[in-house]
């Protein structure tokens, strides 16, 4: 008789990672349209891109009525204590509560328990879980001790998770999880995992590479069974990440190594239909995926720069459309180049909302009103508006040469 695996209770509003094939957190590639695309093709859960705690703190939660999305926005400070009054707000995080809310995991970049709690509380009511990034090795993530840098400060990582479990997870009834990488030796990895699963988290994702390794290097799966075993002892779900190619491949790896779930990154970035099992149609042609992606982008009015970035990941580099799209600067031009005439009306509408001409040129902004004394009609304005008085009227006696010059100008006029 098989031994039943221990399971920690899943909070009322949380989700169980077991049996799930999910979208990995990816900066730029994990924005709202990409997550919606992954869900369209069958992803069970989606992770948002890493969002730094200090970026979230101070944001304002807003409802976008046209797109039915929620946005957390703030004005850029640019080092100043207060942003300029006319500064445009930046969107720090955006979600579609109806289509992804109960399947969305918010990934947090942090190295401070208090800041982590403060940032997580801003989104906790609108997502299904909070995940701490302790695995990204890129400079933007590891600075200030975040990301993979937390692997070198395990006690700090433990304190962050414990604070989130106690002050966010319990209050909002959602799960807290963490994503890590392999350490240098199996013994070090095991010691770290044992510390983390004792914090009260509901899930742990293990990226099967060490911090110095890059995506082109083959994932190391030899430690997976050990990591999964330690997680199961504590009742925590174990999700694997690294070189997972699609749903069928994910399910096969889960069975082989005993993990509870699998996370897809690179393959999902190139074609999100990899979440679809072969029996359900398998990987779709790239042009079909591109059309679906453009619909997702325009429906939520995604910034074209971000849209174009992922388009250049989906469209194969050898296709003639790749070069055409690389030169596009608007939704309208993109749809024209791809032959999506049925999307042109929506494309023009979205471009217009972003003040972009079809050729990609930015529409000129209205000149700000001049609030100086001259423009407001003060003494200077009255003075400048008057006709220039002749020298005699100003008490100045003109020389003969000046008189001749003035007379000549009057005749020519």
Q: Which of 167-181, 199-213, 218-232, 344-358 has the lowest mean pLDDT?
A: 344-358
pLDDT of 13 > 50? The answer is yes
CA dist 376 and 287 (Å) reads 57
5 is a domain residue = no
Q: Which residues contact 179 (CB under 8 A, 6 or more apart)?
A: 25, 107, 131, 132, 133, 134, 135, 204, 205, 206, 207, 241
Q: What is the pLDDT of residue 385?
A: 46
CA dist 119 and 109 (Å) reads 10
Q: What is the pTM assigned to this prediction?
A: 0.85
Q: What is the pLDDT of residue 295?
A: 98
pLDDT band at 397 (very low <50, low <70, confident <90, very high): low
pLDDT band at 76 (very low <50, low <70, confident <90, very high): confident
Q: Do 60 and 199 fall into the same domain?
A: yes
CA dist 268 and 21 (Å) reads 11
CA dist 144 and 115 (Å) reads 13
Q: Do 248 and 336 fall into the same domain?
A: no
Q: How many CB atoms lie within 10 A of CB 170?
A: 13
Give residue for tokens 């040129």: 361
pLDDT band at 384 (very low <50, low <70, confident <90, very high): very low
244 is a domain residue = yes
Q: What is the pLDDT of residue 215?
A: 87
15 is a domain residue = no
401 is a domain residue = no
Annotated catalytic residue, options 136, 267, 297, 335: 136
Report H helices in 183-319. Answer: 186-197, 224-234, 247-257, 266-270, 286-299, 304-314
386 is a domain residue = no
pLDDT band at 394 (very low <50, low <70, confident <90, very high): low
* Structural domains of the chain, count: 2
Q: What is the pLDDT of residue 115?
A: 98
The pLDDT of 129-151, averaged and rounded, is 94
Q: Which of 363, 378, 398 is the last residue of a domain?
A: 363
Q: What is the pLDDT of residue 141?
A: 87
25 is a domain residue = yes
Contact assessment for residue 257 and residue 228, using Cβ atoms and an 8 Å cutoff = yes
CA dist 34 and 140 (Å) reads 21
Distances 18 to 10, 99, 158, 210 between C-alpha atoms, Å? 11, 21, 23, 24
pLDDT of 383 > 60? The answer is no
Beta pairing partners, 45: 22
| Domain region containing 36 | 20-283
Q: What is the pLDDT of residue 401?
A: 56
* Rounded percentage of the chain residues whose pLDDT exceeds 90: 78
Strand, helix or coil at 182?
strand
Q: What is the pLDDT of residue 201?
A: 98
Per-residue pLDDT of 310-349, as tens digits, reads: 999 999 999 999 999 999 999 999 999 999 999 999 999 9
Q: What is the pLDDT of residue 410?
A: 41
pLDDT of 80 > 80? The answer is no
The pLDDT of 59-64, averaged and rounded, is 96
Q: Do 103 and 125 fall into the same domain?
A: yes
Q: Do 264 and 320 fall into the same domain?
A: no
Q: Do 181 and 324 fall into the same domain?
A: no
pLDDT of 135 > 60? The answer is yes
Per-residue pLDDT of 154-193, as tens digits, reads: 999 999 999 999 999 999 999 999 999 999 999 999 999 9
Q: Do 191 and 300 fall into the same domain?
A: no
Q: Do 215 and 341 fall into the same domain?
A: no
136 catalytic? Reply is yes
337 is a domain residue = yes
Counting beta carbons within 10 angstroms of the beta carbon of residue 339, is it exposed (0 to 12), middle (13 to 18) or buried (19 or more)? exposed
Q: Do 300 and 257 fall into the same domain?
A: no
Report H helices in 165-217. Answer: 170-172, 186-197
Q: Do 248 and 342 fall into the same domain?
A: no
Q: What is the pLDDT of residue 336?
A: 96
Give residue for tokens 């009255």: 382
369 is a domain residue = no
């Amino acid at each position: 008789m098989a031994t039943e695996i221990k399971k920690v209770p899943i909070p009322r509003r949380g989700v169980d990672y077991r049996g799930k094939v999910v979208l990995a957190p990816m900066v730029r590639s994990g924005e709202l349209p990409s997550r919606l695309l992954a869900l369209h093709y069958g992803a069970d859960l989606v992770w948002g891109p890493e969002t730094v705690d200090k970026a979230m703190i101070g944001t304002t939660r807003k409802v976008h009525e046209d797109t039915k999305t929620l946005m957390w926005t703030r004005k850029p400070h640019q080092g100043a204590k207060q942003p300029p009054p006319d500064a445009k707000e930046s969107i720090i995080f955006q979600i579609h509560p109806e289509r992804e809310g109960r399947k969305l995991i918010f990934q947090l970049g942090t190295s401070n328990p208090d800041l982590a709690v403060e940032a997580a509380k801003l989104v906790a009511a609108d997502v299904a879980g909070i995940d701490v990034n302790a695995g990204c090795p890129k400079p933007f993530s590891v600075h200030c001790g975040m990301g993979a840098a937390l692997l070198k400060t395990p006690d700090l990582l433990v304190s962050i998770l414990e604070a989130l479990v106690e002050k966010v997870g319990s209050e909002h009834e959602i799960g807290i999880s963490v994503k890590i990488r392999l350490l240098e030796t199996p013994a070090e990895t095991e010691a770290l995992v044992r510390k983390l699963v004792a914090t009260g988290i509901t899930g742990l994702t293990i990226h099967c590479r060490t911090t110095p390794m890059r995506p082109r290097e083959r994932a190391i799966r030899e430690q997976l069974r050990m990591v999964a075993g330690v997680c199961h002892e504590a009742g925590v779900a174990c999700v694997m990440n690294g070189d997972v190619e699609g749903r069928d491949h994910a399910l096969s790896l889960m069975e082989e190594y005993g993990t509870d779930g699998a996370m897809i990154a690179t393959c999902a970035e190139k074609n999100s239909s990899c979440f679809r099992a072969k029996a359900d149609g398998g990987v779709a042609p790239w042009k079909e995926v591109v059309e679906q992606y453009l619909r997702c982008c325009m429906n939520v009015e995604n910034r074209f720069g971000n849209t174009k970035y992922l388009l250049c990941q989906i469209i194969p580099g050898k296709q003639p459309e790749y070069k055409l799209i690389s030169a596009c600067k608007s939704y309208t031009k993109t749809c024209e180049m791809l032959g999506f005439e049925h999307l042109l009306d929506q494309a023009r509408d979205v471009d217009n909302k972003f003040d972009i001409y079809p050729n990609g040129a930015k529409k000129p902004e209205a000149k700000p009103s001049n609030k100086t004394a001259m423009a407001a009609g003060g003494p200077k304005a009255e003075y400048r508006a008057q006709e220039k008085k002749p020298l005699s009227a100003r008490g100045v006696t003109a020389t003969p040469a000046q008189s001749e010059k003035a007379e000549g100008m009057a005749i020519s006029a």
